[in-house]
Chains A and B, each alone.
Chain A
Amino acid sequence: MAFDLSRRTRARRKLPDSPDNVRTPTWRGHRWSLVDLRLTPYLMISPFFLLFFVFGLFPLAFTGWISLHDWQMLQGEQRFVGLGNYADLLRDKHFRNAVANTTAMLMLATVPTLLAALGLAALLDRGLRGRMFWRTSVLVPNIVSVVAVGLVFSQLFGRDYGVVNAVLDWVGIGRVDWATHRLTGYLVVAVMIMWRWTGYNALVYLAAMQSVPRDQVEAAVIDGASTWRVFWSIIVPSIRPTIIFTVIASTIAGLQLFAEPRLFGGGTLGGDDRQLQTITMYLYEKGFELFDAGYAAAVSWMVFLLTLLCAAMNFSFVRRLASSE
């Protein structure tokens, strides 16, 4: 407790043989040392906190205030409307559409991504040759920007010239107009997310798997448990906290889905029928194309509430799932 400056220890610090006095016997040096001890920690965190308060916390808090107003950014008009924006939101069919789209893409992306990551981690966990090569290779998609992923996959899944349709045509299934239908559009967006995030999540799982006690696994193998059974009954339950973490992180990221559906759906509306518009795209449309700050702020708050709801649901679901095994 050398640096505890509560009243109790401060008294002790004044003792002549206190270690702080050994090298700083003069009154001036001692006082300087105390100032250093007491003040420096705050100086060290202050650059971060100054920025954090202005550009992190203040906007978070102010969003709530704005959402209670009819607040037009361009005209500068501000009128208190209470929960009016929220009431409008709940009746807004475009908002409901965006929530439904986001939820669907989120589910279609997260569940297969994390399952595939779990499988991939299990593969990577088997004492391989060229360990580092496999680990770095699976991480490559993760460094590609969402914009590049959006553009490249939009072309791969293009109606007329896309590689995927060429292959489907060749095997006799025929061409699919991926972007115009809801479900196929969701699927393509989910594929983009899966491509970009499976390897990353696999590495996170792999790190957790490596701290599972080996003797437990070996004992189960000696008892005749199959690899499959060892995996689901010992390894998965032991890495449960990591699974919960990845599910929540993926959910938060998924609720903020923007670039992929925007680039694939061809704009902020996400297609002619808004078939691929996500909540964040709707937020962008309201806030930064129509400059309706009050309404956009209300959308932001709904995203936050949805995040909390999803996190709570995920948490209890995964906990039950992994412990019932």
Chain B
Amino acid sequence: MGLPHATISRPTRAGSRWWVYFALVAVVLVSLYPLYWSIVVSTADSTAVARGTPMLIPGENLWDNVVSVFEKVEFGAALRNSFVVGAVVAFANVVLSSLAGFAFARLRFRGRGPLFLVVLSTTMVPAQLGVVPLFMLVVALGWYGDLRSVIVPGLMNAFSVFWMRQACEESVPQELVDAARVDGCSLWRVYWHVALPGLRPQLGVLAMLSFMVSWNDFFWPLIVLDPQNSPTVQVVVSQLAGGYFTDYSLMITGATLGVLPMIALFAVLARRLVNGIMSGAPRGR
């Protein structure tokens, strides 16, 4: 996609912009088609898939497919696990990162600069650099196959601290912090009554992004959770693609079911997420 060479040099109004909308509609169609296709396949039986023609109209097999996803793999348990992990990780990220971000942005203490630099520099390091020792650590703690192995390392995130510091600098005025201090507020109360209310929109975005990253994570849960015994959604969905199952509609139904909670969350919070990303919320690890 690019811009056509022959655009009008004089800025004209609406009429000549039809091609912009045309291009955008094309982008949106390409963005949404795989999702639509997944829903159609989830409603089809496997013979319809095997006919190999591009399917456009939903079939009648949705319920059967959903039921067999829950029967073939531990989908119910996986959904519950992913919700628990996501919720705990999101909550912890909001609390720990806003505390640390507030301290780094608005308080003065010895070692502030170097400590922040350490946090900042690890955001540039690929997460997989530490994956072997982290695995050994988790095994030594006896957490292998346990949800703690995915929850605890996810509780903190250097990106979140980085972003919260920036958010505090934008939304929590130093004068307000100083004024509260002069009035005799302890720093904890300053955090609670001044910083948190100022940060509310960003905290919402941070919670949603943390939940999403946790929900969608695949590499780490695949390593530390037992695929046969209560893993997360992404791990069981990937199992549907493993050697034992070649039922395509089943596989796609699983994938679709795993995406639905994200779509629901997005439907409610899309505007906030767009604004968050455009104001510098970091995405992913």
Contact = CB atoms under 8 A, between A and B. Distances in A.
B107 A44 contact: yes
Interface of B: 1-5, 7-11, 17, 20-21, 23-24, 27-28, 30-32, 34-35, 37-38, 41, 49-54, 95-97, 99-100, 102-104, 107-110, 112, 115, 118-119, 122, 124-137, 152-153, 155-156, 158, 161, 178, 181-184, 186-188, 191, 212, 215-216, 218-219, 222-223, 234, 237-238, 240-241, 248, 251-252, 254-256, 258-259, 262-263, 265-266, 270-271, 273-274, 277-280, 283-284
B122 A57 contact: yes
21 contacts: A3-B108, A33-B184, A38-B109, A40-B187, A40-B188, A56-B130, A56-B158, A123-B24, A136-B270, A140-B35, A142-B283, A143-B212, A146-B234, A147-B258, A151-B255, A161-B50, A165-B52, A204-B278, A207-B277, A221-B11, A256-B126
A66 B136 CA distance: 11
A156 B55 CA distance: 11
Interface in A296-319: 296-297, 300-301, 303-304, 307, 311
B17 to A, nearest CB: 7
Contacts of A140: 31-32, 35, 263, 266
Interface string A144-163: 11111111111110101111
A19 interface: yes
Given A144-B259, A152-B34, A163-B54, A48 B156 contact: yes
Given A140-B31, A163-B54, A22 B133 contact: no
Contact of A1 (B108, B155, B184, B270): B108
B207 to A, nearest CB: 14
Contact of B274 (A24, A63, A132, A304): A132
A100 interface: no
A151 B259 CA distance: 12
B1 A116 contact: yes
A166 B238 contact: no
A271 B7 CA distance: 47
Given A23-B183, A40-B186, A258 B130 contact: no
B259 A161 contact: no
Contact of B49 (A122, A146, A161, A204): A161
Interface string A262-302: 01000000000000000010011001100001001100110
B187 A41 contact: yes
Interface of A: 1-6, 19-20, 22-24, 33, 36-38, 40-42, 44-45, 47-49, 51-52, 54-60, 62-63, 66, 73, 115-116, 119-120, 122-124, 126, 128, 132, 134-156, 158, 160-163, 165-167, 195, 199-200, 203-204, 206-207, 221, 224-228, 231, 248, 252-253, 255-256, 258-259, 263, 280, 283-284, 287-288, 293, 296-297, 300-301, 303-304, 307, 311
B133 A62 contact: yes
Contact of A23 (B184, B256, B278): B184
A144 B130 contact: no
A143 B262 contact: yes
Given A2-B178, A145-B259, A63 B248 contact: no
Nearest to B10: A221
A252 B126 contact: yes
Contacts of B136: 73, 293
Contacts, number: 316
B77 to A, nearest CB: 17
B158 A44 contact: no
A228 B7 contact: yes
B181 A20 contact: yes
Given A134-B24, A144-B259, A252 B124 contact: yes
Contacts of A122: 3
A19 B3 CA distance: 60
A141 B37 CA distance: 13
A51 B107 contact: no
A304 B125 contact: yes
